[in-house]
Structure 1
Amino acid sequence: MVTISRQTRAQLARDASRIRADLQRRGASVAAIAAEITRHLPISPLEAWRLAYGWSRPHVVEAVGELYRSDGLAVPGLTAAMLCRWEHGTVRPSAEYAHALARIYGVPLTHLGIPLPGGPSGWYGHLTPHPRQEGPMQPDAHPDLTAVADSIALNGPGTGAVDLAERAVEFYAARYSDYPPRVLAAEVARCRSLLIDGSATSTDTRRVVGWLSGLLGSLAHHTGDVPASLIHFGTAARVGEDLGERRLAGWALGAQSMVTMSQDRHTEALELADQAAEFADDELRRAQITAWCRLRPLAALGDRARLDDAITEARRHMDAADREEPGRFGFDRAEFHQHLAESLVGHDPSEAARQAETSIRLKRVGSPGWAAATAILARTHAARRNPQDATAVGMTVLETVPPGALRANTRSRLFRLVEDLDGHPAVGELADALRA
């Protein structure tokens, strides 16, 4: 991408203003003015539409805020600097912001020239169909999601409800990243409550309740509620062990290890990893438990020899695995490379950067996995003493992922990035955006 100086940008804005004034005198429409600006000047369609209206960036930011308020939503953290970067193509807006801008300018999204990320529909690909405030979900916010528990409720108690709930677990796991964590948590909890009536429950019911508890543990972790997360994971692990559901028991113990690690309880995390490994009965599960639960605690303890051995072991298991499993309960190479990257930030930041970049390439832009790997990549820049690049990469996470969808563990990574940069002037904007 060619870098254009600030002076040249200012001249382009003046030229666009002259085009607008000339065409307005002839009675031209805003659309015609925008087309003429892009025809004669090296300006993106997104910037051209703003200049065609004669609006400043702060004006557009305020208009977006008014749009959110009119929809009954909390005002987003959009800034004029973010809009500037979108217009100049250094980063692109999230789907949510892109649709908001299209509404502000009164045009189809395709007219703004924004290449939205592909992937399945859902939270990252829709315009604010959800409440951003910390309240209950609006009933019509995600009809595809709410319909799942509604169908189970309509079926009534019994074997049929359990069969439907098993399918619901598969749906929630596969679509886990398509919804804001708090929204999905409300529906998973509602589904689980339909199976618990205080009376004796069948083995099949307990198994489904165990998996739903595991989902609730993950959702609590991703919203920063550690105590609730550990309670739900403990329930899932106990159900798995009692019923001989090895996959559930191993996964829940591994998840407990990760949450424990987030509390800097490194030795306890490793002990839980050992328990989880007892249930890992194929190569993919062994790769998952090793990468999830052993790498970061060993890195935090500074045990480089054991860390290197664990990385070698994780690679061996992953290479020997005959499949990948997407979804909340699965494991794939994108997640594998993410965990390798995070464990190496303090030991080998250049290799950590390569692993993070590999993970990023394997994930959809704007997805939670993409955000996590991008935040880790930003930390590798800080470790290599590149504060400007570290801040810029960190800001792309906040500019791409809507605030309500940013998981707590990724937010924690960005706060650690601010600490890594230790007050460097370049980190000011990132720190302000995180506080907002």
Structure 2
Amino acid sequence: MNRFMQALGLSGNSGRGKAELGRMAGASLQETAALYPFALLAAVYVLGTSPLGLLLLAGGFHYAGTLAGDRQSRAGGSRLLLPALTAAAMAAGILAFGLRPAGAAGAAALLAAAVRGLITGRKRLWTGVQIPLPLWGIALSVILYVYIAGSNPPALTPHRTELYVLCMTNLFVLLLRWNTDQVRSASPSYEVDGQTASRIAAVNRRLTWLTLIPIVLIGAWQGFGPLLLRLARWLISLLQSSSIPAEPPKQEESLAAAELRHMAKEEIGGTPLWLTILGYTLLALLSAVIAAGVAVLLYKLLSKWLPERLRLWVRGLLQRFRRLRAIRRAPGEQAEYLDEVERIEGVPPKRWRRRRPDGKRQYAGDDPRQAYRQLIARAMKRGFVFRTSRTPSENGTELETGGRYTDYSPEEVRQLIARYNEDRYGRR
């Protein structure tokens, strides 16, 4: 094993070489699993072979191409790598699919996987997680799975379980590799202090697995759709059984009469309308919670690629919800401190004409609150970061130390803050 890693240019004495091989394998597994919808369609309708066999061959060529590309980027390998991979892909395609047009298509697919692996190794794309391709693979897998579940095509229905398993594998590998990538980017000393950073990454992986295991268990039990329908029916039956008391059997009634009465109840009666509405309401709430969780997860994954305006809007909306929750939880005077700059109301044009031409030290008359608002607003225009968790005195202290935020002297800032505290809180 050490000779193999040394031949690839990796360190065989430490665990770093094995870790790099594992990360290359993870990258190949992720990109190969993302292409399973295409492999399924090609294997069923073009090649007439097993989709898993085609996927395993493509994954092997992708991993071999990644190793060869990484070796070439480290030591400047020869130019014969691409011809060698081409010859190997053609030979594997002919042996696996035969001398026919379908065999040429299979060889082209294997060659494409090898070339993609070669690019991944040369550019060292395996060192970080690549988001777009796995997400496209997950989206196509979901669309194809819904089509198979709804239409039941005879050629694709036997492979529905494989499609679901590969889609979940793609999702889980994406989350695990993205988690490790986030730890690596957040820790500047990841490569220097590898032991501590590896412990942090291991803890994060365990927490991620604790989140993924319930998804696996729930999805393995007939999927999410039948589970939600079973839950709704169980709630309806539970409410129906609790609302309709059991009638004691009558001794004088014959067995035939009881059977006729039961059949008449089944024909005439049924689930009450209010129970049906309540059950579907609970189902809708549960679906909304699941959809919100999926939306939050997708936002966490795609926040870097979203437009800046949309990210700022979502961030502001979340901050408003946090403030509303903090205000509702606050028990009156004993609430946790929350300070906000009061809204600056529109000032008539005449008042603006009275300001000094130099634009410095403009007090708002005898109104301490207006003066404090103007002080904070001008400081924010100069780059001051206003936080609602700070008191006015703490804001004043920071404005005193950072003279670039205001034109007032420290003594004037202290006097202004003291006037504001006395006017608003009755203390200095």
TM-score (norm 2): 0.21
Whose radius of gyration is greater, 1 or 2?
2
TM-score (norm 1): 0.21
